[in-house]
Amino acid sequence: MAEINHGKFDYIIVGAGSAGCVLANRLTQNPDVTVLLLEAGAKDDYHWIHIPVGYLYCINNPRTDWQFKTEALSGLNGRSLLYPRGRVLGGSSSINGMIYMRGQDQNYAEWARLTNDHAWDWERCLERFKQFEDYHGDANHWHSTGSEWTVSQQRLRWEILEEFKDAAIEAGIPQTNDFNRGNNWGVGYFDVNQRNGLRLNASKAFLKKASGRPNLRIITGALVKKLQVDLSTRTCSAVSFLSGGQQHVASVGHEALLCAGAIGSVQILERSGIGQGPLLQNMGIPVVSHLSGVGENLQDHLQLRMVYQVTGIKTLNTQIRSLFGKVQIGLQYLLNRSGPMSMAPSQLGAFAFSSAHYQLPNLQYHVQPLSLDKFGEDLHSFNAFTASVCNLQPSSRGSVHIVSADTHIPPRIDPNYLATAEDQQVALDAMRLTRKIVSQPSLKPYSPIEYKPGAHLVNDDELRHAAGEIGTTIFHPVGTCKMGSLSDPRAVLDSQMRVIGVKGLRVVDASAMPTITSGNTAAPTMMLAIRAAELLMS
């Protein structure tokens, strides 16, 4: 088959997700720079991407999702999970929960320590967050206005969420109206990335304007096979990809920028011969650069979804089951872009301590006025709410690796949840804290009954097994191509996100994070791209 040559570009960006869209926007602001942006998925013209509740129809949909699955996981009692990753312009920002969360200041202090680079200190990262932010309030030390990434208040309230918030306060968690000032302890409503009741994805925010620039070319449906590396100079020289049933190649002028995410970037590196030598050799892939950390250090937030049946108060479970309720929901959105169709998957949040052992909040709650047995199934027929709680800084580490050089075969994903005694203890303490919150006076009038995992489960062994039954991903995989100091044998990238031992190649996405941030990961991923743009444009 003849190979189609697209010529040379100064920068080739692989992946049009949260990081790739930011980079394409920033780099093409210089008219003298040429950029090729490759996205394996389609354009983001699927209507359910833009209606907030449409995430229900985007996850596990081949139109928008890679549809990965994990291995059977011992920490989850042998269960395998769906592992959604966006496959569309905008990447996972087109299917995620739309929550704007930076994490905690100490997350970035830890990055600075692990990379030996003060460019990752909190105050410097804060300035980068502000560079792409359009905050709903006034500009101040913490927030800025007028940039691309709109940060909005939610357009709905539920009485059951107000009562949970009051119960959390009664349990000792203070009220807050801003989780993004460095220490996110408190309970309040999440800010979301929406405009006028519509999802804002990275494509709309960053690519829409940039796509009209003559120095940017975007190719969708482009599945990258491998990076070509000139072995004489150890420099990334070209990117090979499949599109429209044909093979294509584009040459790299300055750098290739991998922005394919914590799963995708690993796959591309390993197919290119960059990774663990023995693993690659077993699949017949010539080893270009042996880096033992590629695909290791996988971190994710495991959420424990506790469900409580209530009486005497409305939830979405029963509203959506009647014709009148459905009509009401549709009219709310049609007329005001509000109501349940404008809902982010989680509306109320809280950050708390699982025990006095921790100096910063180590738990995050996502509270929802609905319940279901598992994602993709119908809501329960009774009124209930879900209080999902996750360990923000898990000590368990997993991995992701290809199992074949074939681009169409999915990788082996093993998040290795609850593998450490510390993570198991945090899970037990988190479930007990949830029970403490639900037992407070504000919720007592509604007679909450623990439907999942069940109030009869009390001792450590019972709760440990229950965590394995109700635990599921909250879609925050990071760390699989981590930055680190050159003395770290597992580092894949240096502190400037350059692949160690290969010139002209960076990884700029959530896989670069050495440790997971304490909260949702979309905004920190964009901040990484702002840092890469600084370095490339300086």
Per the DSSP assignment, residues forming a β-bridge with 247 are: 3, 242
Q: Which amino acid is at 91?
A: G
Query: Is 14 inside a domain boundary?
Result: no
Q: What is the pTM of this model?
A: 0.97
Percent of the chain's residues with pLDDT above 70: 100
DSSP state for residue 485 in the 8-state scheme: -
Q: pLDDT value at position 67?
A: 97
Residue 1: which pLDDT band, with cuts at 50, 70 and 90? low
Q: Rounded distance, CA 422 to CA 438, Å?
A: 24
Q: What is the domain count for the chain?
A: 1
Residue 359 domain boundaries? 155-189+302-391+417-475
| Side-chain-side CA neighbours of residue 106 (13 Å) | 10
Structure tokens at 77: 């009692």
Residues annotated as part of the active site? 476
136 within 8 A of 149, measured Cβ to Cβ: no
Query: Is 86 inside a domain boundary?
Result: no
- Does 13 have pLDDT greater than 70? yes
Q: Look at 99-103, 153-157, 268-272, 405-409 and tell me which has the smallest mean pLDDT.
A: 153-157
Query: Is 119 inside a domain boundary?
Result: no
Strand duo 363-368 + 3-14: pairing:
unpaired
508 within 8 A of 495, measured Cβ to Cβ: no
Query: Is 37 inside a domain boundary?
Result: no
252 within 8 A of 236, measured Cβ to Cβ: yes
- Does 525 have pLDDT greater than 80? yes
Query: Is 170 inside a domain boundary?
Result: yes
Q: Rounded distance, CA 127 to CA 142, Å?
A: 9
Query: Is 53 inside a domain boundary?
Result: no
Q: How confident is the model over 195-241, as pLDDT tens digits? A: 999 999 999 999 999 999 999 999 999 999 999 999 999 999 999 99
Query: Is 468 inside a domain boundary?
Result: yes
Chain length of the chain: 538
3-state secondary structure 362-389: CEEEEEECCCECCCCCCECCCCEEEEEE
21: nearest Cα among 205, 225, 226: 205
Task: Tell me the CATH number at 175.
Answer: 3.30.410.40
- Number of Cβ within 10 Å of residue 35's Cβ equals 23
Query: Is 4 inside a domain boundary?
Result: no
